[in-house]
Amino acid sequence: MAQKAKTNGKVNGHHAKKVRVATTINGEAVEFLCEPRQSLLEVLRDVLELTGSKEGCLTGDCGACSVIIDGRTVCSCLMFGAEAEGKKITTVEGLANGAKLHPLQQKFLEDASLQCGICTPGFLISAKALLDRNPNPTEAEIRYALAGNLCRCTGYDKIVHAVLDAAKVMQAGG
Amino acid sequence: MHEINYEVPTTVAQAVTMLKRHGEKARPLVGGTDLLIQMRAGVRRPEFIVDLKHIKELRQIKFDAKKGVRLGAAVPCIEVYESEVMRKHYPGLTEAAHLIGSLQIQNRASVGGNLCNGSPAADTTPALIALGAKARIAGGRTAREVPVEDFVTSPGRTVLKPGEILVEFVIPAPKPHSSDAYLRFIPRNEMDIAVVGVGTSITLAGDVVKAARIALGAVGPTPIFAAKASESLIGKTLDNAAIEGAAQLAIEAATPIDDMRGTAEFRRHVTGVLTRRTIQIAAERARNKK
């Protein structure tokens, strides 16, 4: 059962051998090659060209790089791409169904819950992970679930309202 | 980030072999929420990353009412918090695990990593010390157990030698009428590093304290077991004089510094406040427990 992520090359003066990683991203089987030092965020953005996840602080404070892995949100900047072997990953690109926006995306637009937009993918991901576990959260539960995502221009009220509104729509089957 | 190699052992023996082969050039990885930041900043420059998350022994919470709990070193904080036995028997430790960073961090960071990172401000460490937890270490000539209060030797350094790994915590069985509590002071509601953290466990026999352990975080170069403060409570009823006496002894055990998070004087004051409060909370929980 040992995962195949062998990298037996020398490090000093040599390029470390690339690692082959098999994952499921937004419902599709995806295999990629990456350097062991690359974060999952770098792999998503630079290797797979999924640029929805944003690079913010690179220290796990801002949440702009949040993705869902096996049902739990993580900062993709604080994880190596090689660690994603066998994982199910949801990025913001996986929220909309074709041209139809996810209710969270729709309500973020309707409630004007974004301005510059850099934090938005991370907020959408954290909100989706919350609603997947708790379809009818209280405002306090939403604020706790979004505590790992920072917004520096819109403020949090509109974001929280959009999540409450999206939960209502989804409860009604929308 | 500098170039690395990434290895994934699935047994403790494999992990130890890999770590021994690479010696000082290797660093174990679990949640990575401290390590990746340190590597980007150039604070740690391991060439070999050995990912311990796929070793079953490090991922389990095994509870036995008589023997206590074995908490795997790689169990993420969120699983500690979500575990019913952990919440029931060790509420202080689960609260500490649930205070670390955001959900994104709790979903990755482990109690074991929190200790091995060696920060004096680690939230789960005073909670573990209060419970009398021991760290089980593999990789030496024989497996050894180290009391958690002896694990961190200086900021960022631990008793682990190259080739050794922390496998699990062995936490004593909950005794009747015993409980624990952890509180920290930060200047806002959530998402910050402790200015002071205090973990306390209390065992009562009627109104009298049968056993007590008080541990302090962020008020010295390593987490501190406040032995005199703990012993001062034993055999006493928890009146104001007893609690105040323990708080004063806890303040005397603290050796804080001035930094951006708070002055030494402020930290000593808060050490007293949190010691009083954690004694009261742990005792209240112990009284209500069957």
What global pTM score does this model have?
A: 0.94
pLDDT over 60 at A14, yes or no = no
Nearest Cβ partner of B8 from A5, A39, A144? A5
pLDDT over 70 at A4, yes or no = no
| Predicted pLDDT of residue A69 | 98
| Predicted pLDDT of residue B282 | 98
pLDDT over 70 at A11, yes or no = no
pLDDT band at A12, cuts 50/70/90?
very low
| Predicted pLDDT of residue B190 | 76
ipTM of predicted assembly, 2 dp: 0.94
User: CA B35, CA A28: separation in Å to the nearest integer?
Assistant: 30
User: CA B49, CA B22: separation in Å to the nearest integer?
Assistant: 10
pLDDT over 60 at A5, yes or no = no
Nearest Cβ partner of A78 from B33, B53, B78? B33
Identify the structural domains of chain B with CATH numbers, from first to last: 5-54 (3.30.43.10), 56-171 (3.30.465.10), 178-288 (3.30.390.50)
| Predicted pLDDT of residue B142 | 87
| Predicted pLDDT of residue A6 | 42
C-beta atoms of B32 and A78 within 8 A: yes
pLDDT over 50 at A2, yes or no = no
Asked if CATH classification 3.10.20.30 holds for the domain at A19-94, the reply, yes or no, is yes
Q: How far from chain centre, in Å, is Cα B240?
A: 28
pLDDT, mean over chain A: 92
What region, left, alpha or beta, does residue B95 occupy, with left being phi > 0 and alpha being psi -120 to 50 degrees? alpha
pLDDT over 70 at A75, yes or no = yes
Diameter of chain B by CA atoms? 60
- Cβ neighbors of B129 (< 8 A, separation 6 or more) are B147, B148, B149, B199, B213, B215, B223, B225
Tens digit of pLDDT for each residue in B107-159? 999 999 999 999 999 999 999 999 999 999 999 888 899 999 999 999 999 99
pLDDT over 50 at A134, yes or no = yes
| Predicted pLDDT of residue A169 | 97
Find residue B6's DSSP bridge partners: B49
Which residue of chain B comes nearest to A76, CA vs CA?
Answer: B104
Question: Considering only the top CATH level, what class is A103-171?
Answer: mainly alpha
pLDDT band at A43, cuts 50/70/90?
very high
Which residue of chain A comes nearest to B78, CA vs CA?
Answer: A72
Q: Are strands B5-7 and B48-51 parallel, antiparallel or unpaired?
A: parallel
pLDDT over 80 at A148, yes or no = yes
CB atoms within 10 A of CB B69: 24
Q: Which of A4, A8, A10, A11 to mutate to test the interface with B (most CBs of B within 10 A)?
A: A11
CA distances from B68 to A24, B133, B168, B169, B284 (A): 38, 10, 13, 10, 22
| Sign, Cα dihedral of B223, B229, B235, B239 | negative
Q: Which of the residues in chain B have pLDDT under 50?
A: none
pLDDT over 70 at A8, yes or no = no
Tens digit of pLDDT for each residue in A95-131? 999 999 999 999 999 999 999 999 999 999 999 999 9
Q: How far from chain centre, in Å, is Cα A70?
A: 11
Which residue of chain B comes nearest to A86, CA vs CA?
Answer: B54
C-beta atoms of A148 and B102 within 8 A: yes
Query: Taking the domains of chain A in order of start, what are their residue ranges?
Result: 19-94, 103-171
C-beta atoms of B4 and A148 within 8 A: no
